[in-house]
Structure 1
Amino acid sequence: MQKQIRNTLLSTGLLIICAFSAQIVSSQNKAVFSYFEYTGKDIVFSEPIDPAREYRNPILSGFYPDPSICRKGDDYYLVNSTFSYYPGVPIFHSKDLVNWVQLGFVLNRPSQLKLDGIRLSGGIYAPAIEYNKHNDTFYMITTCVDGIGNFLVKTKNPQSGVWSDPILLPKVWGIDPSLFFDDDGKGYIVHNDAPEGKPEWDGHRAIWIHNFDPETDQTFGERQVLLDGGVDRSTKPVWIEGPHIYKINGKYYLMAAEGGTGTYHSEVVLKSDSVKGPYVPYEGNPILTQRDLPADRQFPVTSVGHADLIDAPDGQWYAVFLGCRPYQGDYYNTGRETFLLPVTWKDDFPVILDAGKSVPYIVEKEGLQPAGNTLTGNFTWRDNFDTASLDYKWAMIRTPYDQWWNLNDGNLELHAIDKSIYDKTNPAFLGYRQQNLIFEAQTEIVFVPRTEKELAGIVCFQNEKHNIVFGKIREQGVDKLIVDHNQGNRTRVGEYILKEPGKAILMKVTGENDRYSFYASFDKGNNWTKIASDIDAKTLSTHVAGGFTGVMIGLYATSVYSSK
């Protein structure tokens, strides 16, 4: 199995956790997983393509929202939001904008990212990555909501995995900051914040600009409003956010998302002769939306926006942006995903997608360099846990300070610690993004509960109050498999008494749109026993659960299990 490039610093950071965290006592129970395998089976991805001249949207499927991109030479770098998952901000590298390899994470040390007690959809919002050619430095600027607020980190080489500790920006309020470096080397930060005075309607926000000094990494002078409300204030537009400034052919372009990150989401653009305006809106705004299309169209992409532009060395412009793939109405479990489209120019303005057109799933692009891809489409990905460190596809909930996981002789060991997925803590949970509407995920587990508080198995996790737990427990002296459906309160929807409690068990979850089923095999997968079927997984959708994340299919162990 092809493994991603290893991030040396991440490994070092985890070793630091090992050295300074409390020692795990030998009496603590553990679950042993011998592999994890995920298979995607979406109908929309079944049509074959020529990977040398065509690519699929989304380019990053599953929970990869709020994309931002930059380029140095012919090297592209892309980052996404992670909210309260750790490590924070995955960073990808590509030579052709389509075939990406994850380099690791920007925020890969506890000193960079403290998420203690922060709600799952708090944490890291909308990271923006920028390259400053004047000092040959890469910056990632973002907001830690409910945490330290707005900050930046920087590096000379994103491929090294070494980024600075956070540099706080105390005068930059609100969310969604991004950097712009002009031709003369001057720097600026633009961001979303409340408007001057009292907001006049719900969702009334503004885009502000600060001077930024690359020598001190701080803002200076007075901030200024660039855009109040949106492109047409008379319509009371909501949630102008995710701003970027570009200088193209001597003109300054301010681009931002408008309408909120739901089905009314859009992208708008304005132009000016000066970096601080005044900015004049494009008459054809929005330059990207799907809100004007029929709701009953086949394989819809919705909620598009939060875009970033990038120019290729040949002068062609492209846009990355987020979108959602609902299976019904506004129900989707895969979260907000990353899409790519070429940009056209009309009346000296960039247009990502003409009004009335659907986001295409297959796009032509010459000069592609295809490689084995498990970031989009239908594929099978398997982790045999035979490497020295965790694969980059795994995510933890909040910052770990104790090492409750171990890779040992081709197995993943999770210690049944006294932390739970139902609380705002760092449980023994490793999550893999659900990337497809139709999927299977399975693992093999050896686990013998010692008490009725211990559980280990698979979790389909949207947040602390919306999840499905498929685990092995001991109840009234009997070892059994159970399925608990949590939708604010927990309901037992499946149960199976084990005849050979110490034997290895294969556990499998299948999903088809809003229906998930759970199976076990006691003979290495030759036969499968259904433990719970057709569970309503709309409860895991963003529409029901709220927040900004997607479903994680996780391996989990705990010593504080409760069915209530």
Structure 2
Amino acid sequence: MKGFTVSSVPETGSTFTNPVIPGFHPDPSVCRVGDDYYLACSSFEYFPGVPLFHSRDLVHWTRMGNALDRPSQLSLPRDTASSKGIYAPTLRHHDGRFWLITTNVSDGGNLLFHTTDPAGPWSEPIRLPGVEGIDPDIAWDEDGNCWCTTAGVAQIRIDPYTGESFGAPRRIWSGTPGAKAPEAPHLYRIGAYWYLLIAEGGTERCHGVSIARGRTSDGPFEPCPANPVLTHRGTDLPVQNTGHADLVQGPDGSWWMMLLGVRPLGGSPGWHVLGRETFLAPVTWVDDWPVVGEVAPVMPAPPWPLQPAATVPVRDDFGLAELAPVWISPRDRPADACTTGERPGWLTLRGRGTSLDAPDVTFVGRRQEHLSCRARTLMDPAEGVGGLAVRLDESHHYDIEAGSGEVRVIARIGPLRTVVASRPLPAGPQVLRMEVSATRAPVDARSGPDVLVLGVEEPDGTFAELARLEGRYLSTEVAGGFTGRVIGMYASTGTVHFDWFDYEPLPDTIRRAPSTGE
């Protein structure tokens, strides 16, 4: 289980499915080195940080690891709020070395890392005290000068090896007049021009992508007359919030755009629960300006052979000395609270807080990557209290918890926390189970995006449902922020052990919405 290949559904010979990296994988940045493509995403309050992927065809991406996998690289203090932490990395390759620049908004500001092997290890952080703002980009001009461009949109020259900056940041473009939040800049030399690509409009329904060009890397820049070159604002298309993009050439020399988007479901206003995901769209050039094609759930296949679609691993038996890179935890993961070495073949978690409401909870989870899915784990609660949970943040999570003589379903929705259902806990390990079923045909305008069913498996394997909960309360539209759902195991108090965890996609089905009090 050293890598995870993620793909929504198997492709046919003539199509592929979007998103190409499903689940909470926002702010994609991509670079090409020969026949290989590498991609990095934001990770916010989770450790390890900045997930990295590899591809040969831009469609199928294999999880390589996480760039920031050591506490010395990624400091997330205990008071780091959800949706803080690591913002918007840019991944580039220059002069035989990979460079990753990002912002830790909770501690350290803008940071730069480098390596000769993207699989790691990556360097310790190089701090950039002269670089202001967020969403830093890095690019080199023909004379070898290294330019850092940040949200705003401002630019400053830096020494990438020392972090030294030269001069003061200079505003080079402000984006489209009237569009808020010019951010996520990326600077490229393509043909006769330098192009400055940005996101603007905010990362919600008005998100979009605009571009400007100039003859030199530091401008002046003229905006494209067709800006925004991509937006789904004001449409009822199934993919929304399109923006925060990066450009890359395909194997045949054609151009493509990696971008984030969301898949809202349910009635009005629509709720997205998986966070912002990574999509792929074709790009053509007209009069030296990019024209972005369709961004849809099913797309025409690119004109080169696709790799075979690998299946998503379903089960982790915790047989390795270290957790696979798919597993993430809020803020930190100290070895004394999380280990696979104490009981061979089991994951051992020790509680540090009192519940998932606490910022220092011991939680190990993986991103929910499918609109409908099932998660199961075998837990031994003999020495403590813990369970299986789906988490958006400390104030928005559903848990199936075992310990202290009972199994209970807990719902935390904003300031409200309640035990929805409970039953006696039998002796011995217990299989906890959670199923998520997407709502494909809303009953009315108030229908939520999905339903979550939580319960336990009886000794004969039958499922005993304890609660059926509305999914909208674990959505970005309700909770706010920039992340998506993460499903995993936790310890509230004492020590709990997990023998295995499995996660599998399910066919999208329609379940009735729960009635009041259910």
TM-score for the superposition, normalised by structure 2: 0.88
Q: Mean alpha-carbon deviation: is it higher for 309-318 or for 392-401?
A: 309-318
After TM superposition, give the deviation of residue 292 of structure 1 in Å: 3.4
Residues 177-326 of structure 1: pairs in structure 2 closer than 5 A:
177-192=136-151, 206-214=152-160, 216-228=162-174, 230-231=175-176, 233=177, 236-294=178-236, 300-326=238-264
AA aligned opposite 1:552: V
The aligned residue for residue 486 of structure 1 is: 412
After TM superposition, give the deviation of residue 162 of structure 1 in Å: 1.4
Counterparts in 2 of 1:358 and 1:315: CA distance versus 1, 3 Å: closer
AA aligned opposite 2:226: G
The aligned residue for residue 362 of structure 1 is: 299
Q: Does 1:146 align with 2:106?
A: yes
What is the DSSP-based 3-state SS (H/G/I as helix, E as strand, rest coil) of the residue aligned with 2:42?
Answer: coil
Equivalents in 1 of 2:460, 2:349: separation in Å? 21
Residues 107-186 of structure 1: pairs in structure 2 closer than 5 A:
107-116=68-77, 117-133=79-95, 136-159=96-119, 161-186=120-145
Equivalents in 1 of 2:334, 2:377: separation in Å? 26
Counterparts in 2 of 1:57 and 1:493: CA distance versus 1, 3 Å: same
Q: Mean alpha-carbon deviation: is it higher for 174-183 or for 380-389?
A: 380-389
For this pair of structures, how many residues does the alignment match? 477
After TM superposition, give the deviation of residue 548 of structure 1 in Å: 0.5
After TM superposition, give the deviation of residue 304 of structure 1 in Å: 0.6
Counterparts in 2 of 1:214 and 1:469: CA distance versus 1, 3 Å: closer
AA aligned opposite 2:399: V
What is the DSSP-based 3-state SS (H/G/I as helix, E as strand, rest coil) of the residue aligned with 2:410?
Answer: strand
| Contact 1:331/1:542 (<8 A) preserved | yes
Q: Does 1:464 align with 2:394?
A: yes
Equivalents in 1 of 2:289, 2:430: separation in Å? 58
Q: Does 1:523 align with 2:463?
A: no
What is the DSSP-based 3-state SS (H/G/I as helix, E as strand, rest coil) of the residue aligned with 2:136?
Answer: strand
Identical positions, percent: 36
Counterparts in 2 of 1:104 and 1:221: CA distance versus 1, 3 Å: same
After TM superposition, give the deviation of residue 362 of structure 1 in Å: 2.9
The aligned residue for residue 22 of structure 1 is: none
Residues 364-379 of structure 1: pairs in structure 2 closer than 5 A:
364-373=301-310
After TM superposition, give the deviation of residue 55 of structure 1 in Å: 2.3
2:278 to 322, 338, 345: 338
Q: Deviations over 1:158-215 (max 9, x none)?
A: 13x11111111111111000101123322100001xxxxxxxxxxxxx3001112345
The aligned residue for residue 506 of structure 1 is: 431
After TM superposition, give the deviation of residue 400 of structure 1 in Å: 2.6
AA aligned opposite 1:119: A
After TM superposition, give the deviation of residue 285 of structure 1 in Å: 1.3
The aligned residue for residue 441 of structure 1 is: 375
Residues 13-32 of structure 1: pairs in structure 2 closer than 5 A:
none
Equivalents in 2 of 1:484, 1:303: separation in Å? 31
Equivalents in 1 of 2:287, 2:116: separation in Å? 37
| Contact 1:84/1:115 (<8 A) preserved | yes
Counterparts in 2 of 1:167 and 1:380: CA distance versus 1, 3 Å: closer
After TM superposition, give the deviation of residue 315 of structure 1 in Å: 2.0
Equivalents in 2 of 1:419, 1:112: separation in Å? 28
| Contact 1:212/1:220 (<8 A) preserved | yes
AA aligned opposite 2:317: N
| Contact 1:318/1:341 (<8 A) preserved | yes
Q: Does 1:349 align with 2:285?
A: no
| Contact 2:350/2:494 (<8 A) preserved | no
| Contact 1:57/1:340 (<8 A) preserved | yes
Counterparts in 2 of 1:215 and 1:145: CA distance versus 1, 3 Å: closer
What is the DSSP-based 3-state SS (H/G/I as helix, E as strand, rest coil) of the residue aligned with 2:489?
Answer: strand
After TM superposition, give the deviation of residue 359 of structure 1 in Å: 2.5
The aligned residue for residue 362 of structure 2 is: 428
Q: Deviations over 1:451-476 (max 9, x none)?
A: xxx421101100011111210132xx
| Contact 2:274/2:485 (<8 A) preserved | yes
What is the DSSP-based 3-state SS (H/G/I as helix, E as strand, rest coil) of the residue aligned with 2:314?
Answer: strand
What is the DSSP-based 3-state SS (H/G/I as helix, E as strand, rest coil) of the residue aligned with 1:544?
Answer: helix
After TM superposition, give the deviation of residue 372 of structure 1 in Å: 4.7
AA aligned opposite 1:494: A
AA aligned opposite 1:210: I
| Contact 1:418/1:560 (<8 A) preserved | no
| Contact 1:506/1:524 (<8 A) preserved | no
Equivalents in 2 of 1:363, 1:4: separation in Å? 31
1:94 to 55, 75, 83: 55
AA aligned opposite 1:114: S
Equivalents in 1 of 2:460, 2:245: separation in Å? 46
After TM superposition, give the deviation of residue 560 of structure 1 in Å: 7.9
| Contact 2:11/2:309 (<8 A) preserved | no
| Contact 1:191/1:241 (<8 A) preserved | yes
What is the DSSP-based 3-state SS (H/G/I as helix, E as strand, rest coil) of the residue aligned with 1:175?
Answer: coil
2:44 to 35, 60, 83: 83
Q: Does 1:541 align with 2:479?
A: no
AA aligned opposite 1:306: H
1:455 to 371, 382, 385: 385
Gaps of 5+ in 1: 7-38, 193-205
Q: Deviations over 1:358-399 (max 9, x none)?
A: 52423312333424535xxxx562112222321111111112
Q: Deviations over 1:209-245 (max 9, x none)?
A: 11123453422123211112x22x2xx2101100001
Equivalents in 2 of 1:419, 1:397: separation in Å? 15
Equivalents in 2 of 1:504, 1:68: separation in Å? 43
Equivalents in 1 of 2:475, 2:94: separation in Å? 39
- The CA RMSD measured in Å over matched residues stands at 2.1
Q: Does 1:412 align with 2:347?
A: yes
